[in-house]
Amino acid sequence: MSAAGPVHRVRRWGQPSAAAPVSDKAVRRAGTSPDGPGRDGPPDAAELAGRAVTGRAGTLVGSGHPAAVGHLRTGRPRGTSGGVVAMPEREGPWRPESVAEFVGALRALKAVEGLSLRELQRRTGLPRTTIAHALREERPSLPPWDRVLALLRALGVDEAALPGWKRAWTGLRLAADAGARAGGPSEASDAMPARANAAPTEADAAPAVGDPAGGGSEEGASETVRGPRRGPSRQRVLAHAASLLLGVCVGVGAMEGLAGVDPAGGPAGVKVGFPVEEQPCPPPTANPAPSSAVAADAGPRTGNEPAAWVARAAADQQILGGTDVVLPVTNAVTAGDALVVTMMLTATCPGPVTVTDTRGNAFRIVADETDARLHRTLVLAAFHVRPLTTADSIRVKYPHASKYHVAVDEFSGISRAVGYAQAHGESGQTAFSTSSTRLDCAAGDLVVGAVGSNSGTAPVFTAEWTALPVLRLSSYRLSAAYRVVPADQMCAATGTTTSQWGAAAVVFR
């Protein structure tokens, strides 16, 4: 053992290396729990110990963490001075071959940095449950790129390295989409199985890039040995994916840039602005309408407690392509009160939307409006709820959407929904209103209004309404407000905006 203390050698391609020592301090740090005593959430470094990220990166012997963490963090190899050894430049750019490998690299960065979920939440602004879900080892699909980007920056990855991560993410996304499409009846998909078990070609059997041609040390020779490929080369997969996805504008930029394109005039069920899904949108008639039972609930008010807003229990908004979100409860909810969920889904499909929570409260749709651009505004409600604490969470499941805005507000003094009205309008107007549908209110009723809008000026409710906090992503907004009706009258959610909008008003009693 040297005077400088014990060192750990780097193993590449399963072979010990005579160079590139790693300090014992770095290994101890990598093997220490990232969360530590009293901190919360996965991943635990004990789980990572002895487990390597597969692929070309190699491992730190005894730690199970990637030897190329420095390379993944900076985009260029690092020497031993930084305490972490990068894979040699001749290995080429990092190209993960599976979702597990990509997520494993994120988990390894988290372990090496030693950041808790609470600290990552502070740095990214994402809920801890969302971060834990993105880093879940067994997840079947990639996390959305916006979350990956936020995590990489929070973990100290250099800006210069981010394009490499994005290329890796995009390559896996394209390959996954190509695999889903290749299952259909086409010449390309029929040809794939025949090639999957084909013998390696000359190019497959060639030495690794940068290795001495036809020679080298025994260690170098061992590094060039590769097993038979399990399928087409990466270049062929990517080319196949690009040809299949041409015309649907796959990619993060296209997803954001085309989210507002009007699909009117296209075939029923065509979605514009986000990747094609395995199952297309159902026809509009499959869109479940709000429960018709709400009209039967109508009747005089009972009880002495006046209707009132209590607090916002949970909220979130994200730009992503997904089908569900888990919201941590940020304000405890009192037993017996009601929870009203307002929601905007952008570039989405008709189909079921469900809300559940960890206490088993039952939510139902009480208003649901979709405009011509497939932007959908909903209101759901649960009454006489079981109490929720900040340890609980609320889960929303919905058809594919490029963005979501979700707010959950607690109200007291209401026990049922008695009616609703909804409408939508194009941009360039000066106002929004649901008054085209008659909605009767009685004295003391609570009316909740929700407006999902895009571009133009922000919706502003008329003076009798009390506005709730607005959720905003770029030009997309979810605006909600409430009012207690002073006397019997017709009600409507009304206000000013020049945006494209979809609005709903629900009467609670």
How do residues 478-491 score in pLDDT, each as one tens digit?
999 999 999 999 99
Residues 488, 440: Cα–Cα separation, whole Å: 8
Question: Model confidence at 70, in pLDDT bands (50, 70, 90)?
Answer: low
Query: CB-based contacts of 417: which residues, under 8 Å, 6+ apart?
Result: 294, 297, 366, 381, 506, 507, 508, 509
Q: Is the pLDDT of residue 267 over 90?
A: no
Q: What is the mean pLDDT of residues 333-348?
A: 96
Other Cβ atoms within 10 Å of 200 Cβ, number: 12
Q: Is the pLDDT of residue 190 over 60?
A: no
| pLDDT given at position 69 | 53
Alpha carbon distances (Å) from 499 to 186, 310, 428, 456: 43, 30, 7, 4
- 48 φ/ψ angles, rounded to the nearest 5 degrees: -80, -25
Q: What is the mean pLDDT of residues 166-186?
A: 75
Q: Is the pLDDT of residue 152 over 80?
A: yes
Q: What is the mean pLDDT of residues 43-72?
A: 42
- 343 φ/ψ angles, rounded to the nearest 5 degrees: -150, 145
Q: Is the pLDDT of residue 292 over 50?
A: no
Q: What is the mean pLDDT of residues 179-208?
A: 43
Q: Is the pLDDT of residue 127 over 70?
A: yes
Q: What angle do CA 406, 170, 121 make, to 5 degrees?
A: 40
Q: Is the pLDDT of residue 61 over 90?
A: no
| pLDDT given at position 117 | 87
Q: Is the pLDDT of residue 170 over 60?
A: yes
Residues 98, 103: Cα–Cα separation, whole Å: 9
Q: What is the mean pLDDT of the chain?
A: 72
- Contact in structure between 372 and 396 (CB atoms under 8 Å): no
Q: Is the pLDDT of residue 98 over 60?
A: yes
| pLDDT given at position 353 | 96
Q: Is the pLDDT of residue 82 over 70?
A: no
Residues making up the chain, counted from first to last: 509
Question: Model confidence at 304, in pLDDT bands (50, 70, 90)?
Answer: confident
The structure's pTM equals 0.48
Q: Is the pLDDT of residue 320 over 60?
A: yes
pLDDT in tens, 412-464: 999 999 999 999 999 889 999 999 999 999 999 999 999 999 988 999 999 99
| pLDDT given at position 350 | 83
Query: What percent of the chain has a predicted confidence (pLDDT) above 90?
Result: 39
Q: Is the pLDDT of residue 9 over 70?
A: no
| pLDDT given at position 184 | 47
Q: Is the pLDDT of residue 116 over 80?
A: yes
78 token code pair: 């690092």
| pLDDT given at position 33 | 41
| pLDDT given at position 193 | 36
What residue type is 123 in one-letter code? R
* Higher per-residue confidence, 113 vs 71: 113
| pLDDT given at position 234 | 58
Q: Is the pLDDT of residue 387 over 50?
A: yes
Alpha carbon distances (Å) from 472 to 23, 195, 240, 276, 405: 47, 48, 37, 26, 8
Where is mean pLDDT largest: 3-12, 41-50, 354-363?
354-363
| pLDDT given at position 118 | 84
| pLDDT given at position 379 | 98
Q: Is the pLDDT of residue 158 over 80?
A: yes
* Higher per-residue confidence, 54 vs 473: 473
147 token code pair: 């979350």
pLDDT in tens, 200-212: 443 443 333 334 3
